[in-house]
Amino acid sequence: MASAPNPGPSATTAVLASVAALGIWRLLAVVAPHLAALALMYETETDFGSRLSFALAWGILNFFWITLLRRPALSGALSLTMVVVLVLLSRLKHDVVQMTVNFIDLMMIDRDTVAFLFTIFPNLRWSVILAGLVTLPLMYALWWLDPFRIRRLPALACKLACLAALVGYSLYHPDEAWRGYYDDGYLSKFFRSGVSSVSDFVQYGFMESAASTNERLNMPLVDACHPAGRRPNIIMIHDESSFDIRAAQGIKVPPRYGDHFKSWDGRQRTFLAESNGGPSWFTEYNVLAGLSSRSFGRFAYFVTRIASNRVERGLPLALRRCGYDTLSLYPAYGGFMGARSFQMTTGIERFLDSKDLGAKDVEPDSFFYGKALQLMGQQPPNKPLFTFIYLGANHFPWETRFRPDLLPNWRAPGNVPSIDEYLRRQAMSAEQYKAFVAGLKKSFPNEPFLIVRYGDHQPEFAPNLLEPGLDEGAIGKKLDAYDPRLYATYYAIDAVNFEPVKSEAVMDTIDGPYLPLVIQEAAGIPLDPSFAEQKQIMLRCKGMFYGCKDGAEARRLNRLLINAGIIRGL
């Protein structure tokens, strides 16, 4: 019987070469993520401390995945994927609100927040789908290629060692809040902010308040509100990203541009917001609860979520005590930043989000004004209504033209395209607001209305216009110090069939948390004890709130509300 032929030298060499090549690929699969992370570290981290934090954070991620999977190649790839996603999200957030992602942003991630981002950035959905189609097969290939297995207990020990080193370094060299405005250091700032956030929570909790006091607020009685004269219907309008751009030098504006910012008496008034560039929910907390988001320190970014079912105080509740029905029209999903739960906690009885209203993507102001007129027409006679109209058409980005059909005769003043688009949207807002007021007069010829509008924050490009000679770090320091120039927008009071009540509280410049007080005073609504106390603070501090006495007045009011049972669990 003939024996099988032995493979020749060339065949053996080929087999060995193939095995060696496969081994090199497997070794490369392990090493490549670490080399990529090293390059990313030198690209995004700028000093020794941030690079040390990056290395420790990289170790935490890798040993976490190795503890679960035991495969170093796949663990490295998963860690690299997480870091790259963090970098991309940080850059996206920085483009929107001039700040990078920090640890507490994890609490902001939910289905409605993601849906809102997909609405603002429609191409983002396809980018995520494409990334998933590429990543999943790659992870399977790495699972198959990885020849190494690492024991779980040593991996866990290494992870804990990296974590202990990072915590120790972060406590010894705590991150400075203003560095969040720099567009770099994404991974190091994220992990170090986690240490700072946990430390702050252990020391102060979610919200600042003064130490225990013997002072007490009298609880308002349900039937204690007896306004003099007829109660007007009250409309509060959230004018998205709107401010008087003439505060910046060299900007060309359309004729009569400033009219939109004036009140019924011809005066232009300043509203000092507590956010800049993007987080409208800071101002939402101000104008509904009548309190300061700055009291929440590092946790301010999810102030509305924390306040939900905890801060039972606000303008809608005060108006309900005076017989008002309360209604809110919201341009996004109600779960976004806990908006539905928060607004109902402050006294909103009927909350209609974009789905309830039948909105499709971003709608112009006229859509919400039309819905408001329709709903007002269903109101029972002799029953005053508070309506909160939350607009969104002037939201970023301004690089694309929004609904050009709605302002066909628009002529750009001649600034850079994004600024001209911003001005065009402001012109649309002003035109559609005038139509809304005309609709009120026509539909309700005998009904009194008090209308209060405010700009919720400056647009994201405003700091660079207002401070053209500063880099992002210097601007970040000014934002962190709450330079009023970077937080000033406007508030305006208008009226239909009603004469706003004159009050010393209707000042030329107010901090955002005072707006509910201003509205009640202008409407002639008697103040409950908490707003009466806040009025005294307003007069003492000349329109400043948290900035008065380094936050002492705000902390004192928080303590009074806690003692009265109005704020709970904070």
220 within domain boundaries: no
Write down the pLDDT at residue 443. 95
Residues 248 and 185 in one domain: no
Burial of 36 (0-12, 13-18, 19+ CB in 10 A): middle
Residues 331 and 183 in one domain: no
Domain of 502, CATH number, reads 3.40.720.10
223 within domain boundaries: no
156 within domain boundaries: yes
Could you tell me if 412 and 424 are in contact, meaning their C-beta atoms sit under 8 angstroms apart? yes
Q: Which of 157, 177, 204 is the last residue of a domain?
A: 204
226 within domain boundaries: no
Q: Give how far the C-alpha of residue 221 lies from the chain's centroid of Cα atoms, to the nearest Å.
A: 35
Write down the pLDDT at residue 18. 44
Residues 263 and 171 in one domain: no
Q: Edge-to-edge strand order for the sheet containing 491-496?
A: 350-352, 325-329, 385-390, 233-239, 449-455, 491-496
513 within domain boundaries: yes
Residues 199 and 257 in one domain: no
507 within domain boundaries: yes
Write down the pLDDT at residue 128. 61
Q: Which of 204, 219, 235 is the last residue of a domain?
A: 204
Residue 337 backbone dihedrals phi, psi, to 5 degrees: 55, 25
The dihedral of CA 35, 40, 42, 48: what is its sign? negative
Residues 123 and 271 in one domain: no
Residues 198 and 255 in one domain: no
Q: Which two tokens stand for residue 193?
A: 């902010």
Helices and strands (H and E) in the chain: how many: 19, 8
Per-residue pLDDT of the chain (570 residues; tens, 9 = 90+): 444 455 545 545 544 444 444 457 667 767 888 888 899 898 888 888 888 889 999 999 989 988 988 888 788 888 888 888 888 877 777 666 566 777 766 655 555 556 655 665 566 566 666 666 666 666 666 666 666 788 889 889 999 999 999 888 888 777 766 666 677 878 888 888 778 777 777 777 788 888 877 778 876 555 667 777 789 999 999 999 999 999 999 999 999 999 999 999 999 999 999 998 878 999 999 999 999 999 988 788 889 988 999 999 999 999 999 999 999 999 988 877 889 999 999 999 999 999 999 998 889 999 999 999 999 999 988 899 999 999 999 988 898 899 999 988 899 999 999 999 999 999 999 999 999 999 999 999 999 999 999 999 999 899 999 999 888 778 888 888 899 999 999 999 999 999 999 999 999 999 999 999 999 999 999 999 999 999 999 999 999 999 999 999 999 999 999 998 899 988
Helical axes 529-541 vs 515-523, angle rounded to 10°: 110
Q: What CA–CA distance (Å, rounded) separates 457 from 551?
A: 21
Residue 25 backbone dihedrals phi, psi, to 5 degrees: -65, -40
Q: Which two tokens stand for residue 348?
A: 């909103």
559 within domain boundaries: yes
**The total number of structural domains that make up the chain:** 2
Residue where the block lists tokens 């920090």: 102
E strands in 370-430? 385-390
Residues 188 and 315 in one domain: no
235 within domain boundaries: no
Residues 275 and 164 in one domain: no
What's the domain range around 321? 243-563
Residues 267 and 140 in one domain: no
Residues 315 and 171 in one domain: no
Residues 57 and 105 in one domain: yes
Q: What CA–CA distance (Å, rounded) separates 428 from 493?
A: 19
Taking the model in full, what pTM does it have? 0.78
In 3-state terms, the chain is what percent helix, strand and coil (to 5)? 55, 10, 35
Query: 491-496 and 449-455 as β-strands: parallel, antiparallel, unpaired?
Result: antiparallel
Residues 169 and 256 in one domain: no
Residue 387 backbone dihedrals phi, psi, to 5 degrees: -125, 125
Residue 60 backbone dihedrals phi, psi, to 5 degrees: -60, -45
Write down the pLDDT at residue 145. 67
How far is the CA of 425 from the CAs of 61, 241, 257, 361, 371, in angstroms? 44, 10, 12, 16, 20
Q: Which of 204, 222, 254 is the last residue of a domain?
A: 204
E strands in 223-371? 233-239, 270-272, 325-329, 350-352
Q: Which two tokens stand for residue 225?
A: 């509100």
